[in-house]
Structure 1
Amino acid sequence: MELPASRAANERLHRVIPGGAHTYAKGSDQYPENLAPVISHGLGARVWDVDGNSYVEYGSGLRAVSLGHVHPRVTEAVQREIGRGSNFSRPSIVEAEAAERFLATVPTADMVKFTKNGSDATTAAVRLARAATGRPLVALCADHAFFSTDDWFIGTTAMAAGVPGEITDLTVRFPYGDLAATEALLREHEGQVACLILEAATQADPPEGYLAGLRDLAHRHGALLVFDEMITGFRFSEHGAQGLYGVTPDLSTFGKALGNGFAVSALAGKRELMELGGLRSDRDRVFLLSTTHGAETHALAAAMAVMDVYETEAITARLHAIGSRLAVGVREIAASHGLADQVVVRGRNSNLVFGTLDTDGRPSQDYRTLFLRQLLMGGVLGPSFVVSAALTDADLQQTLDAVAAACVVYRKALDAGDPSPWLGGRPVKPVFRRKA
């Protein structure tokens, strides 16, 4: 398989954009060498690269495009608002409409403020928590991969260059599912932790009583609880993880699926906290979120259309049903090749990822490269198995056929004890690493 136009386009991208993409997870280093397609366009659950190849796409827009590309109701809503103007010197009535629609969908929140990306929303939540509590430390869940591009989080990763140690020292970590360890952390930093921030769930449902226990623990120690719902919001439940599990946090952040690819995210929470960033509090003012493009009318129109589609077409249930079929199929194919312990599918059916393990059961970048390469050759662009509602029966069958072909090669590589002949070049690399 050769992608000459994509290879040339990747060179153009790297000449003018650091990393060759605007998101590290989309970088060419995440794909087999010379097999990083550059996208021309998409429709439904398919995308086309600049070489003219068509792919069934998973993880669309890093989980953002859950309805499929160019969804008609979303596109129509966006086009209608663009024709009426997108940004003004005073709030548009669309801002009130979108906020009311959001709060009707996520009734556990009292107020909401929109912005453009998830990092701004989570950082605003951290700042608000610090202001409300007067405390400096942020406790983040050590088992969750990403919260923000801002210093309070990035300084804790392998890519900490440019972040002063004094900033990094203001972030501490707690383990998911372990209330005792979290309480020990809070006692160690008694009176210093402003908030606990985490995803309410990732690969599996939380342990029974964990989220409620974590909220009670945070409040007993004077800290706030923040749910990062960038992924769980809408994809796990139309009401977010807080609605699904019946635990209301003090603050929460939404994005990704909210706009079906359009740039919109949200900070939501209790009125007494959110008003610290408003004009109706006698406390010191919090510069919460103030973005020129945060309330572009077409993005808010997209969000309202997305929420309508989720409600009227039972999208969350559809995502779970599609993901279930895919997961069952992949597991059956892997088992038939004796790879049940090497090619694994994890996560909630609406948010599936796959693991590629070696003979000792360890995650392997080499075997991931082999697997990705074979998927691409079968017409599947699959950095994950995160589904969209646009996937058809034919798309799923093509995916399973590609998985079956990949498992044949995987088996050969395991039997040979060396996957390198099937990699086509250097292995794919983890996003967070110190050196390029």
Structure 2
Amino acid sequence: MTDPGIPPRTFARSRAMQDRLHDLVPGGAHTYARGSDQFPEFMAPVLVRGQGCRVWDVDGNSYVEYGMGLRSVTLGHGYQPVVDAVTRTIAHGVNFSRPTELELAAAEDFLGLVPAADMVKFAKNGSDTTTAAVRLARAVTGRTKVAVCRQPFFSTDDWFIGTTAMNGGIPAAAVETTVRFDYNDLTSVAAALAGDDVACVILEAATALAEPQPGFLEGLRAQCDSHGTLLVFDEMITGFRWSAGGAQGVYGVAPDLSCWGKAMANGFPLSALAGKREYMELGGLRTEEDRVFLLSTTHGAETSALAAFRAVVHAYRTQNPIGLMEAAGRQLSTEITAAVRDAGLDYYVEVLGRPSCLLFATRGPDGQPSQAYRTLFLQELLRRGVLGQSFVTSAAHAAADVDQTVAAVTEALVVYRRAIERKTVEGLLEGRPVAPAIRRTAEPRYIARA
């Protein structure tokens, strides 16, 4: 049902391209979180460009974007100092048969931000670094068991993804040594470590929805030390969003190893494994121990991403990107919360999380999380020029962008309230609801009909 007060938007070209993508790319996207099943059925934009916090699709629609490349962009799309640094660098080649001066400079920059780490190795995606950390911990301790926090995601590799519903093709033996513990629960950590057979504990030190309770990270560090277990922090999201030095820089607890990615290079593909010299050197040439095949990638140190990373580091040293992200996030949270209250929907819609990493909750008439009502909310925001599965900001989100978003949310809440009062989205939602990205079956509603 189209609101006559909203200028019409067409998604015809996006829909045609999305169909073609499904013909050529499994899932229609190269990341499950970007899949068309994560957006309203007839409103999944295919993008062509971005600038700052705004993006444009193939139909000519423009949006204020949130999430910013799955949290990988903190300075804004097309951030000029990054573009300039990359352009200058790639004009002289991007990949060589020996290390470059740039690798040394980037390593020095990185280790200057992360005091707890003595060495770093660059790669291209986060899964490679978390799996390298697990492998290294197993080599250091001689143990195979891994204790993984009950948090959303750590790796596409067998040791983790085999514990999810989407575990086809993964041998049971690959995950039998993966055990779980609960965040902010030292008792569950103690139970996981009780057998003195765990190689490492891996977790996000904080998430958008959960901060560490006083003493939790310190107690975790102490338990790992007591049981001879390595502590690994996943800093994919917290790095460059909580602080340039990640969660460990905020909470003051040093891990043995840490894994980085996403916002390191403002969207350019770069990740890193960092840690104490005594462990990292097992993957090098200055060890008398049996060597560990740590990370070895053709593109790990190509110059474009390293140049982007150094420009990002410079921006964080000379400006205040996190302060800008948090300021936009605080304005969003305050004004959207007020709009929700004014609409009488406090029980159903909520903005949650750290100001630099905001999420939103959408609940149905029974007060329970609802994918159908989430889809309705996304649909109404898209109609009003807001694209995002969250309200995760960047330093490019200015007050005017927040104002536009709050206005869009305020109008979307009118439709949302109508659905709550009717106790159904029928007649308001076009197409099927979104679904969890990681699930066992595609389900009939997502399977193409001849």
Q: Cα offset for 1:278? A: 0.5
Equivalent residue for 1:149?
A: 156
CA offsets per residue over residues 322-370 of structure 1, 9 Å max, x none? Answer: 1111111111111111111211111110001111012332110000000
**Equivalent AA in structure 1 for residue 81 of structure 2:** R
Equivalent residue for 1:111?
A: 119
Q: 1:179 aligns with which of 179, 183, 186?
A: 186
Aligned length: 433
Equivalent residue for 1:162?
A: 169
Q: What does residue range 286-301 of structure 1 map to in structure 2 within 5 Å?
A: 286-301=292-307
**Equivalent AA in structure 2 for residue 224 of structure 1:** L
CA offsets per residue over residues 42-86 of structure 1, 9 Å max, x none? Answer: 111000000000000000110001110000110111011101111
Contact 2:328–2:399 at 8 Å: present in 1 too? no
* 2:240 counterpart SS class: helix
CA offsets per residue over residues 192-228 of structure 1, 9 Å max, x none? Answer: 2100000000113210011011011111111110000
CA distance in structure 1 between the partners assigned to 2:42 and 2:98 by the alignment: 48
CA distance in structure 1 between the partners assigned to 2:116 and 2:77 by the alignment: 30
1:196 pairs with 2:196: no
1:391 pairs with 2:418: no
**Equivalent AA in structure 2 for residue 197 of structure 1:** I
CA offsets per residue over residues 4-61 of structure 1, 9 Å max, x none? Answer: 0000110111111000000000000000111000001111100000000000000011
CA distance in structure 2 between the partners assigned to 1:181 and 1:406 by the alignment: 42
Q: 1:138 aligns with which of 137, 146, 149?
A: 146
Equivalent residue for 1:304?
A: 310
* TM score, norm. by length of structure 1: 0.98
CA distance in structure 1 between the partners assigned to 2:327 and 2:244 by the alignment: 15
* 2:156 counterpart SS class: coil
* 1:232 counterpart SS class: coil
* 1:266 counterpart SS class: strand
Equivalent residue for 1:94?
A: 102
Q: Cα offset for 1:420? A: 2.3
Identity among equivalent pairs (%): 60
Q: Cα offset for 1:125? A: 0.6
CA distance in structure 2 between the partners assigned to 1:304 and 1:276 by the alignment: 27
**Equivalent AA in structure 2 for residue 429 of structure 1:** A
Contact 1:232–1:240 at 8 Å: present in 2 too? yes
CA distance in structure 1 between the partners assigned to 2:350 and 2:340 by the alignment: 8
**Equivalent AA in structure 2 for residue 60 of structure 1:** M
**Equivalent AA in structure 1 for residue 168 of structure 2:** A
CA distance in structure 2 between the partners assigned to 1:421 and 1:433 by the alignment: 27
Contact 2:325–2:397 at 8 Å: present in 1 too? no
Q: Cα offset for 1:2? A: 3.1
**Equivalent AA in structure 1 for residue 268 of structure 2:** F
Equivalent residue for 1:363?
A: 369
Contact 2:330–2:355 at 8 Å: present in 1 too? yes
Contact 2:121–2:272 at 8 Å: present in 1 too? yes
**Equivalent AA in structure 2 for residue 206 of structure 1:** P
Contact 1:121–1:266 at 8 Å: present in 2 too? yes
Equivalent residue for 2:353?
A: 347
CA distance in structure 2 between the partners assigned to 1:341 and 1:272 by the alignment: 52
Contact 1:114–1:264 at 8 Å: present in 2 too? yes
Contact 1:124–1:288 at 8 Å: present in 2 too? yes
CA distance in structure 2 between the partners assigned to 1:180 and 1:419 by the alignment: 42
CA offsets per residue over residues 292-321 of structure 1, 9 Å max, x none? Answer: 000001110100110110121111111111
Equivalent residue for 2:63?
A: 55
Equivalent residue for 1:68?
A: 76
Q: What does residue range 34-49 of structure 1 map to in structure 2 within 5 Å?
A: 34-49=42-57
Contact 2:73–2:263 at 8 Å: present in 1 too? yes
Contact 1:135–1:191 at 8 Å: present in 2 too? no
CA distance in structure 2 between the partners assigned to 1:137 and 1:130 by the alignment: 8
Equivalent residue for 2:4?
A: none
Which stretch of the first structure deviates more once superposed, 228-237 or 312-321? Answer: 312-321
Equivalent residue for 1:426?
A: 432
CA distance in structure 2 between the partners assigned to 1:154 and 1:164 by the alignment: 11
1:242 pairs with 2:252: no
Alignment root-mean-square deviation, CA = 0.8
Structure 1: runs of 5+ lacking an equivalent: none
